[in-house]
Each structure stands twice: as C-alpha cells, then as structure tokens.
Structure 1
C-alpha cells in the first residue's frame, strides 16, 4: 500500500503508459483516426503506393498520411516524372496533397545523386534524411509504418 502522495506520484511516474501518445508539436496533434507513414525507396512502386494512399484515405478520410522517400524512391517527386504509361506523377501527388497527404524527399539522396533541390516538385518538402524522418514519425509522433 502506498503511504504518501509523493510515493503515489513516484509510482505513477514509473509505470509505463503503453499505447498512450503524448500531445505532439509539428502539426501531428490533430483529430486523426490513424497516423501512417508510407515508405518509398523505389519509384517503380510509386504508382501502386499512391493508389494505396488514395484507397487508404477513401476508407478512412480522417487518417494523417506522410509519404517519405529516399534513394530511387524520390524519382517520382522530381519535375517531369512520369509513370510507365507517360502519366505525370505530379497530378496524382497534387490531388493527394489537397487531401492532406504530406510528401517528404531525402536531402541525403539529393546530395549523393547530385540532384538540385529545385528539381523537387513544390508539393514535396525536403527533409535532412528520409530514414531519420521515418524514425522520427514513428518514435516521436506515433505513426504506423507501411511499406507498399
């Protein structure tokens, strides 16, 4: 039995709160039913991944979705990128952006591949590291990881 308020508070502080995610900074504290990060590291899978994101939002419009890209996965977020049928990716990206989806491009990839930042479409944001961004979204902001 706990004999004092101080002991009770210490016991509560030491108790893990599984499944409890504290309030977040950075715009991820909204009333979302789900927070999901989609990881794309190969643009060969980009159109299928974008369909997954669209289907995800159709099934659950209150989801917060962030698409994080690195390596060859950034290619569909570069100016003029087209799928194998010559359809521009930017149109689909714009539509998803209007639905609240965020797109992130790895700066390490841009530097390693010598791609100027100006080649990234305006719908996407550049982050220092794609893999670090995925880790941050999971660890700090409680996002679920999906790899299409």
Structure 2
C-alpha cells in the first residue's frame, strides 16, 4: 500500500501530528506499507523549511525514504525560495495536482 499525507495547515500541532503519522506508517510491522509521500502546501510549507520546528523530524523521514514534495505555487505566494527548503525536498508545480496524481496512482490520502 502507498499513502500520501497532505501537509496543508499552518497549525504546528497538526503538522507534528502529520509527521508522527508518517513515522507510524514507516514503523508498521505488518510490512503492508510500500511507500509514503508527503505533499506540503499553504501553511504546511513551514514544516519543510530550513530552521523550521520540524526540520530534524523531516530530515529523519527523508533519510528513511519518505518523499517530500513542496508546492511551487505556495513558495511563490509566500515569497520563499527553493533554497529555503530542507535538502531533499522536491518541488512540484501545484500541490493539489500532485495529490490528485498520487491518488490516481493508488495512494491512499491522509490529512490529520
């Protein structure tokens, strides 16, 4: 099974919950989870920026094979540069389109 987690809220508690869910998916002992992706957009983009509150947790998840994708539209709106993202974060033109694409590929959608 594959799962995409949508990081869209600027609420720090919701962001931490989402990242904890990702960790739980990775730690699942049944072996049923094949891939986990995270798409960050809107206020959720803060969780994938350098020096953000979640930087260490995101880096750990990246090191464990989770793919993180940041919405380029959000970066533009929030006047952020790709260089402000944690190394290893991929940018996609539109977060909503990426979510839809992944769902069409069979990913289950989760948003805390």
Same fold by TM-score, threshold 0.5 exceeded? yes
Alignment correspondent of 2:6: 39
State the structure with bigger RCO (CA 8 A, min sep 6), 1 or 2. Answer: 2
State how far apart, in whole Å, the 1-side matches of 2:91 and 2:10 are: 17
Please tell me whether residue 52 in structure 1 is matched to residue 21 in structure 2: yes
Q: 1:126 aligns with which of 84, 87, 91?
A: 91
TM-score normalised per structure 2: 0.89
The 3-state SS of whatever aligns with 2:99 is helix
Residue number in structure 1 paired with 2:77: 112
Question: Distance between the aligned counterparts of 1:56 and 1:90, measured in 2?
Answer: 19
> Structure 1: which 5+ runs fail to align?
1-33, 83-88
Structure 1 residue 103: deviation in Å? 0.6
- Structure 2 residue aligned with 1:80: 51
CA distance in 2 between counterparts of 1:55 and 1:109 reads: 27
Which of residues 98, 108, 112 is equivalent to 1:144?
A: 108
Find the structure with the greater CA-based Rg: 1
**Which segments of structure 1 move beyond 2 Å, counting only runs of 4 or more?**
60-63
Residues 30-61 of structure 1: CA deviation (Å, up to 9, x unaligned): xxxx1110011014211111111111111155
More helix by share: 2
Question: How many pairs were matched up?
Answer: 108
